[in-house]
Amino acid sequence: MALIKTVIDGKEIEVERDRWALDVAREMGISIPTLCHHEALEPYGACRLCVVEVTKGKWTWLTTACDLPIREGLSIRTDTPEVIKSRKMTLELMWARAPEAEGLEELAKELGVDKPRFKLRHDIGKCILCGLCVRVCDKLIGASAISFVNRGAERRVGTPFNAASDKCIGCNACVAVCPTGHILTVDKGDIRYMETWRTELDMVACEVCSKGYIPARQYEAITARLGERIALDKVCPACLRARTVERFKAASKV
């Protein structure tokens, strides 16, 4: 890929054409906040937190850095008063929408938001509609158990008909990527409760300790991908580690 010149915060740099501005800026040590971004997924541009000021020729405008490809003639500023003002308003609106979202209030205060001038909502949990859960489930895991539902102010994330999903494999990838702690999962006995998705998953019991350790559907999904030639033991991580330790101990005695 061709190398082109670009200027970010006054510093000139040469990068491959079409690289995302966010990645380039971060590599330069410039800090840009994000919420709906994840390096394992395509940029989505929904939260608007990573906005930067772009100038090309006589035009200057605000746009998100996560999905801005570096092209000829761009000059980018990540710290102008306009940028800060925009990020503050974005956080203020998000804070009002999901006041209990973990980390949101801190992030907002860090950027100088005192308190929201809008009515606080308490009816939609901690979700800020970043879409990470939907995107990871659909594009990376391939289960597509959840999606966005409705449109506009009614938009939310959920399973079809808000009912238990028969596609969810209980992998907890959604929990891992959710930036606000909105998605709840708990294992009780041999059942994994994906509470937010109203889905209960039976877990496979470990052959050694008999505790349920992986949702059956997840086990089936993985074995399906591994194919016949690789057998996946039904042993939980703790027992597997113990087994490995035993093996090493036995080997070192020889």
Partner 1 sequence: MIKSIQELSKRQAKAQKEYYCDKVRISVGAGTCGLANGAGEVLETISDEVDKQGLDFLVRQTGCVGFCEGEPIVDVMIPGLPRVFYRDISPRKARELVQAIAQRDFRSEWALARLDKDNLLVELERDVSGKLNGLAKVPALHELPFYKQQAKIALRNCGFIDPHNIEEYLASGGYSALAKVLSSMEAEEIIDSVENAGLRGRGGGGFLTARKWRSCRKADGYPKYVLCNGDEGDPGAFMDRSIMEGNPHSVLEGMTIGAYAIGADRGYIYVRLEYPLAVENLRIAIRQAKEYGLLGENILGTDFSFDVKISRGAGAFVCGESTALMASLEGLSGEPRAKHIHTAEKGLFKKPTNLNNVETWANVPVIINKGWQWYSKIGSDNNKGTKVFSVVGKVKNTGLVEVPMGISLRQIIYDICGGVPDKRQFKGVQTGGPSGGCLPEKLLDLPVDFDGLTEAGSMMGSGGMIVMDDRSCVVEIARYFTEFLTKESCGKCTACREGVREMLELLDKITIGQGSTEDIELLEELCCYVRDNSICGLGKSAPNPTLSTLKYFRDEYEAHVVEHKCPAGVCRELTKFEIEAETCIACGRCIKACPVEAITGEKKVAHEIIQEKCIKCGACRDTCPVDAVVTL
Partner 2 sequence: MNLTKVDEIIQEYEGEDSWLVMILQDVQEDFNFLPELALKRVAEQLDIPLSRVHNVATFYSSLSLKERGKHIIKVCDGTACHLRGFVNLRDEICRQLAIKEGETTNDKLFTLEVVACLGACALAPVMAIDGKCFGNMDTQKVEATLDLYRKQTQK
Reference 192, options 172, 174, 173; nearest CA is 172
Is 118 or 148 the residue whose CB approaches partner 2 more closely? 148
Is 159 one of the binding residues for partner 2 (CB under 8 A)?
yes
Please give the residues from 49 up to 68 whose contact with partner 1 meets the rule CB under 8 A. Answer: 49, 51, 61-64, 67-68
Phi, psi (deg, nearest 5) at residue 179: -80, -10
Closer to partner 2 by CB, 165 or 180: give it: 165
Per CB under 8 A, the list member of 8, 50, 129, 157 interacting with partner 1 is: 129
Mark 110-149 with x for binding to partner 2 (rule: CB under 8 A) and - for no binding.
----------------------------x-----xxxxxx
Query: Least distance in Å: CB of 144 to partner 2?
Result: 4
Instruction: Name the binder of 118 from partner 1, partner 2, none, CB < 5-8 A by kind.
Output: partner 1
Q: How far is the CB of 146 from partner 2 (least distance, A)?
A: 6
Complete edge-to-edge strand list for the sheet that includes strand 199-205: 185-188, 191-194, 199-205, 212-215
Please compute, for residue 146, the number of CA atoms within 13 A of its CA located in the half-sphere on the CB side.
30
Min separation Cβ 83 and partner 1, Å = 10
Residue closer to partner 1 by CB (options 62, 242) is: 62
Instruction: Work out how close the CB of 148 gets to partner 1 at its nearest, in angstroms, rounded to a whole number.
Output: 7
First to last CA, the chain: 55
- Residue 53 or 203: the one with the smaller Cβ distance to partner 1 is 53
Token pair 């308003």 is found at 89
Query: d(Cα 102, Cα 173) in Å, to the nearest integer?
Result: 18
Question: Which parts of this chain interact with partner 1 (CB under 8 A)?
Answer: 45-49, 51, 61-64, 67-69, 71, 82, 85-86, 89-90, 93-94, 96-97, 117-119, 128-129, 131, 148, 150-155
Question: Which parts of this chain interact with partner 2 (CB under 8 A)?
Answer: 138, 144-151, 159-161, 167
